[in-house]
Structure 1
Amino acid sequence: MQYTQLGRTGNRVSRLGFGSMRLPMIEIGGAQYVDVEKATAVIHRALELGVNYIDTGMMYDNEEGELVVGSALEQWPRRDEVIVAAKCTKFRAKAPGDLRRCLEHQLWKQRRDSFHIYMFHGIGYDNWHEIDAATGWIADMARAKEEGLVEHIGFSFHDKPEAMMRLVDEGIFDLVTCQYNYLDRANEEAITYAAEKGLGVVIMGPVGGGRLAVVPKGVREASELSVANAAELAIRFVLAHPGVHVALSGMGSIDMVEQNVAAVDKGPLSKAEVATINTMMDRNRELARLYCTGCRYCMPCPNDVEIPQVFEMVNYYRVYGMEEHALAGYARLVANGHDAAKCISCGECLTKCPQNIAIPEQLREAAELLAAGS
């Protein structure tokens, strides 16, 4: 495992971080729950292989993720060596004292006395100040740090690059978690800016929430690239940016952990390899038309549309040239009553999507594109 210093936090962290949003699930009585035994085994395998940075969130895994991570770490003999990041989401910060209540509840769930890093979750420059005016969460965070409940303050981010740089300039943050991958390079300059200002930079979505789990056509034909699989390509690309410290991966199986650790062990891609990918992706803009990361914040849909799965099938069809696979997958959604045609444009999903996707419009396109297989 490769390690680096996480900006001015001073923490020595693995370049691969464990994202806890995609823990293995099990269905019980028609509902999805974290498979605690499997999830614990996955987390422990990552720790065995040297991963020492874990990213958690209060809404992850049907709000069970923090409990499972806390239990897994309590069983780990070198728990004190693991850097844990947690977040207070803007959806739970609506009144004075909300951040403090969230923090204390999360510490209880994770069986901890403090967090190494505590983040304002999913903020932009404008809503960050709007939320503070309503809740006083900046002062609450500062008090939590003074009391030793939080070591370092960070933010996770889905806004424009200019807004990210303005947040960096606020001067209170030690870390930023943002999106970056070989499809979405919008934050490239902002990442450099944050790192130069001393912030730790953690990347979410290096594999694009699964959208880059298959190498796009064009890229896979490039003879200059020598990688074992799509995940390796995606992770090594992200780590090639000199401002990036950690690439997060939501790992739901031991195989995925071992595959990603092996990728990091090979080191970042070379400058020539990065240039090749950038050129190929500039020619292939189909994937950018539908930038769904599979976060599932849009779910559940009141009309039972499986929105992320529909969009996954669209990208398999358009981008990867896997038409038969996409049509067969969509046919299964139709058979189970979860297809795009069920959308009535109620708009409930629109306010929940961090990517600001025009979901009803994209679902109409998906229904037209994939109807042939159903």
Structure 2
Amino acid sequence: MLYREMPKNGDELSILGFGAMRLASKEDGSIDEERATKQVRYAIDHGVNYVDTAWPYHMGASEPFLGRALTDGYREKVKLATKLPSWLIEKREDMDKFLDAQLEKLNTDHIDYYLIHSLVGDLWDTLEKLGVADFLDHAKADGRIINAGFSFHGASEDFNRIVDAYDWDFCQIQYNYLDEKSQAGKAGLEYAASKGLGVIIMEPLRGGSLTKTVPEAVEEIWNEAPIKRSPAEWSLRWVWNHPEVTVVLSGMNEESHIEENLRVAEQALPNSLTEEELQLIKRVENKYRELMRVECTGCQYCMPCPAGVNIPLCFELYNNLYFADDPDAVRFMYAARLGGALGTGGGEFASQCVQCGQCLEKCPQHIDIPTVLDSVVEELEGSDLEQRVAMAKEMFKQV
């Protein structure tokens, strides 16, 4: 296992982190506790020392599971990360309430790496007014948390100001070879690192969409490489090639995936890919973009929409429909993220478009936004949209 140093505290963290959002599960969706425990402990025994979870993962069952899985001395072998469910916070006192509950669930007296979960600009502004900085300061002072960070899912222009708004130790961003310009992106990665923050990477495989069903045209490009690697290995190596990256999280739930990830994490040094290999990955990226239904970069120039449509998110999920092999899961996430299940937004669906055309003048990619939104409605909404929204709100409610 290779390790990289967390800049502000000197922790030597495994470059591969165990993400506990997609644990091995039974047919009914509940965690297969025996199998998942073996997987977590096997990864730790082979060098993984960073484990990440959050309040809503597995309908609230992930944290208590880890509280049990990390007994028998395993808690002492890892840095444990979890997250404040920011969308559930209504007042300053809620922050302490959730943290204390998480400490109990996780069967620990401290969280090594504590994140404010899933920040976007507006949500950060609300939390800041509610006293989140004071909460973090006090929680660090009394030892309940050791390092403070945030995970980010917002627009690029909000990322830097959140980095600058508090003395963070680290941050967590989505990053892969298709997301260099999405959300925080490469610019955010480099900015955070320039400020001395450790950077944890989530979704290095874009939720598995870069590996589960690889289009034939993409497979043909991978096969040209002199050194044969799986799409997962190429994707992980691309992220680890960035020296600014500290840890890459993987939601590992198959033994073969764990073995492969551990093997790659023994070799993936920063700046180790050749120029020819980087060009090959660039060709794969370009091929995926050819397959995309809409070439949206998430620049947000089209926002705000007068009718309240979250245009970039609609387009992101529309593309995901053609990258993933589970269209029902994408439709569920469409309902959850645009229907307000995470406590922000709500009622931001493509079907709210009134064809005003204001976005057409603003889009630097010259996308026919209203026409594409009609396609989003046709493929991602449907007659059961309200039912999916209700299910998502039930899943993400206080548990």
Taking structure 2 as the reference length, what is the TM-score of the superposition? 0.73
Deviation at 1:6, TM superposition (A): 1.6
Counterpart in the other structure of 2:180:
185
Other structure's SS at 1:32 match: coil
CA contact (8 A) 2:54 2:63 kept: yes
CA–CA distance in structure 2, aligned partners of residues 177 and 314 of structure 1: 26
CA–CA distance in structure 2, aligned partners of residues 313 and 132 of structure 1: 35
Counterpart in the other structure of 1:321:
none
CA contact (8 A) 1:88 1:119 kept: yes
CA–CA distance in structure 2, aligned partners of residues 367 and 102 of structure 1: 34
The aligned amino acid for 2:30 is Y
CA–CA distance in structure 2, aligned partners of residues 47 and 240 of structure 1: 23
Alignment partner of 1:143 out of 138, 146, 163: 138
Equivalence map 1:90-169=2 (5 Å): 90-133=86-129, 135-169=130-164
Note the aligned Cα RMSD (angstroms): 3.3
Counterpart in the other structure of 1:22:
22
Counterpart in the other structure of 1:86:
82
- Aligned CA distance change for structure 1 residues 219 and 183 (closer, same or farther; 3 Å): farther
Counterpart in the other structure of 1:266:
267
Deviation at 1:280, TM superposition (A): 3.5
Alignment partner of 2:282 out of 269, 278, 285: 278
CA–CA distance in structure 2, aligned partners of residues 190 and 113 of structure 1: 32
Counting aligned pairs with the same residue, the percent is: 29
The aligned amino acid for 1:210 is G
CA–CA distance in structure 2, aligned partners of residues 104 and 177 of structure 1: 22
CA–CA distance in structure 1, aligned partners of residues 293 and 97 of structure 2: 38
CA contact (8 A) 1:9 1:200 kept: no
Work out the number of aligned pairs and report it: 327
Alignment partner of 1:74 out of 67, 71, 74: 71
- Aligned CA distance change for structure 1 residues 25 and 267 (closer, same or farther; 3 Å): same
Deviation at 1:349, TM superposition (A): 4.5
- Range that drifts further, 202-211 or 92-101: 92-101
- Aligned CA distance change for structure 1 residues 339 and 238 (closer, same or farther; 3 Å): closer
Alignment partner of 1:35 out of 14, 32, 36: 32
CA contact (8 A) 1:350 1:359 kept: no
Counterpart in the other structure of 1:351:
340
CA–CA distance in structure 2, aligned partners of residues 190 and 255 of structure 1: 33
Deviation at 1:210, TM superposition (A): 1.0
**Residues 309-338 of structure 1: per-residue CA shift (max 9 Å, x gap):** 99876335xxxxxxxxx6xx77xx7xxxx9
Counterpart in the other structure of 1:201:
199
Deviation at 1:117, TM superposition (A): 1.0
Deviation at 1:81, TM superposition (A): 2.6
Other structure's SS at 1:74 match: coil
Counterpart in the other structure of 2:229:
228
- Aligned CA distance change for structure 1 residues 32 and 197 (closer, same or farther; 3 Å): same
- Range that drifts further, 100-109 or 276-285: 276-285
- Range that drifts further, 272-281 or 141-150: 272-281
CA–CA distance in structure 2, aligned partners of residues 116 and 290 of structure 1: 39
CA contact (8 A) 1:227 1:233 kept: no
The aligned amino acid for 2:6 is L
- Aligned CA distance change for structure 1 residues 63 and 243 (closer, same or farther; 3 Å): same
Taking structure 1 as the reference length, what is the TM-score of the superposition? 0.78
**Residues 176-221 of structure 1: per-residue CA shift (max 9 Å, x gap):** 1000001111211210111121101000000111101144534642
Can you give the 5+ residue segments of structure 1 that lack an aligned partner in the other structure? 292-308, 317-325, 369-374
The aligned amino acid for 1:65 is S
CA contact (8 A) 1:19 1:55 kept: yes
CA–CA distance in structure 2, aligned partners of residues 348 and 17 of structure 1: 25
CA–CA distance in structure 2, aligned partners of residues 207 and 365 of structure 1: 24
CA–CA distance in structure 2, aligned partners of residues 151 and 266 of structure 1: 30
CA–CA distance in structure 1, aligned partners of residues 166 and 71 of structure 2: 34
Deviation at 1:254, TM superposition (A): 2.0
Deviation at 1:346, TM superposition (A): 8.4
Other structure's SS at 1:33 match: coil
Can you give the 5+ residue segments of structure 2 that lack an aligned partner in the other structure? 297-316, 352-374, 383-399
Equivalence map 1:243-322=2 (5 Å): 243-268=244-269, 270-272=273-275, 273-285=277-289, 286-287=291-292, 289=294, 314-315=322-323
Counterpart in the other structure of 2:378:
364
Counterpart in the other structure of 2:312:
none
- Range that drifts further, 210-219 or 113-122: 210-219
- Aligned CA distance change for structure 1 residues 218 and 311 (closer, same or farther; 3 Å): closer
CA–CA distance in structure 2, aligned partners of residues 274 and 225 of structure 1: 13
CA contact (8 A) 2:87 2:123 kept: no
The aligned amino acid for 2:340 is T
